[in-house]
Amino acid sequence: MPYFDFNLKQKFDLYDTDNSGSISKEEVVHMLNDTLADCMSDLSEVMKVVCKNLLEDAAIGIIKELDADGSEVLEWNEFKQSMRAFAQQTGSLMQIIRKAKAASGG
């Protein structure tokens, strides 16, 4: 398994908290909560509820966007393909930025 895939698999397994072999909406919400925990810690209780609802909506959107087979969960191959595409897009963007900086003398 290539190094990139190995690291992705470790992340996938970390997010797949119930070891079902897929990442559910609830697990995506948990992942987003963990990612944003520091930002949300100072919010009022009302704002935390609002954020929770927004994160649930975001999780549904993420799964709809990446779930190729319509199972309403992310399997390993769907996760891997989406992360590879993201890495390629990010890499392309970084190349554009580097070229722009070089062209401007920066």
Three-point CA angle 93, 12, 27, nearest 5°: 105
pTM score, two decimals?
0.72
Q: What is the pLDDT of residues 7-31, one digit of tens each?
A: 889 999 999 999 999 999 999 999 8
Question: With contact defined as beta carbons under 8 Å apart, do 26 and 18 qualify?
Answer: no
Instruction: Look at residues 91, 15, 18, 1 and name the one whose alpha carbon lies nearest to residue 59.
Output: 15
| Per-residue pLDDT of the chain in tens (106 residues, 90 and over written 9) | 677 788 889 999 999 999 999 999 999 999 888 888 888 888 888 988 898 889 999 999 999 999 999 999 999 999 999 888 888 877 776 777 777 778 877 6
CATH number, domain at 21? 1.10.238.10
Residue type at 14?
A: L
Residue 47: domain span: 3-103
Q: Please tell me the total count of domains within the chain.
A: 1
pLDDT score of 87 = 80
Q: Report the candidate in 98, 94, 75, 100 with the shortest Cα–Cα distance to residue 22.
A: 75
